[in-house]
Amino acid sequence: MVSRLRLLLASISVGFGLGLLVCSGTTFAAGIPITLTTSPVSLNLHIQPGTSQTQTLQFKNSSSIALPVSIDVQVFGAYGTTGQAAISAPRPGDDSTQWVSFSPATFVAQPNVWNSVKMTIALPKSANLGYYYAIIFKPSIPTQSTARTTAIKGSNAILVLVDSGTSNEQRQVSVTNFSVTKHIYEYLPVDFTVTLHNGGNIYVPPSGDIFISRNANITHTLASIPFNTSGANVLPESNRVFKQTWTDGFPVFQEKYLDGQPVLNGKDQPEYHLVWNFSSSLSKLRFGKYYAQLVLTYNDGISNKIVTSEVSFWVIPWKLILSVIAAFIVLVLIIVSITRWYFKRRLQKMLELTKTNRKKD
């Protein structure tokens, strides 16, 4: 998987498991924009203490000039709850970054050419638990200043998570929150928020499904939403928030797009419009109370553990219901009016016939 990243600012904050970039800037060398590409986005490695493992990293300089590049190793930890990671220098006494070596350690990246770097991680026999490395590619970029802007030097990072597989590892994941953004929806989508806490001492990539049903026992499933298909990790002693969406309805709100770009409102939020896909089955018309159950699985090192959580919500298409009621009332009024007109005409004819008969008599 290739992640195309703009050069990161001096304070680097990147996502792990889902992506890397949080803050970015455009770097110029003598007026030439510099864009760097690294691959993969992240690596999950299992290395036993006393052994080593070698992986190939890729770097590309998408500019018109050659750039000298050096490689640095730092560490990272959880940053907030949105799946981002904060890169920092190792703490005093932490020599784990010295276990990582590269071949070559420096190179000249020619324009639009992929450069392969062999990364070797050799764990000593004393290694235990997990290690979280940020492999930083640091190009030597000449900077220039103008009256309006000042160019910056930046770097790209690949995140590497190492599991040593030692016997003192503890994996424990709990669901601290499983909720919906609203308790009553007019139409789908329904947005779920899942907050997980890793109470263990090693990273865990949880997986599972969210099952939707009309009954609290979830005995009849209407829909199944895969959870964490990207394999994102939850770092030890941290929380992480996941977002999932149920969109399988008729009709359904969808984001507006113009020329391939999302349309935003005055608050820079996406605008939505109601889509009626009449090729969908009417069984997807959502109405009433629904129940959602999160079934989460993770491996604690011995067996697969299952964690569940439930939430309920309503889908009430009130505008559609009011329209149907209004149409029904109009139809009833029309039928009543026609009926009254019909009987009035019959009564008039009967009266006229009675008068005619009296005159004959």
123 and 60 within one domain: yes
267 confidence band (pLDDT: 50, 70, 90): confident
Tokens read off for 40: 């993969």
17 and 122 within one domain: yes
Residue 338 counted as domain residue: no
Per DSSP, the residues of 19-40 read ---SS-B-EEETTEEE-EEEE-
Per DSSP, the residues of 140-170 read -----B-SS-B----BEEEEEEEE---TT--
194 and 114 within one domain: no
Q: What is the mean pLDDT of residues 291-310?
A: 95
- The number of domains in the chain is 2
CATH of the domain at 220: 2.60.40.10
* pTM (two decimals): 0.80
Q: Tell me, what DSSP letter sits at residue 110? A: -
Domain of residue 127 covers: 3-163
Give the residue from 277, 297, 316 where a domain finishes: 316
31 confidence band (pLDDT: 50, 70, 90): low
Residue 136 counted as domain residue: yes
Residue 104 counted as domain residue: yes
225 and 117 within one domain: no
pLDDT at residue 143, as a whole number: 58
Q: Return mean pLDDT, the chain.
A: 87
CA distance from start to end of the chain: 104
32 and 150 within one domain: yes
Residue 264 counted as domain residue: no
Among 18-22, 186-190, 199-203, 294-298, name the one with the lowest average pLDDT.
18-22
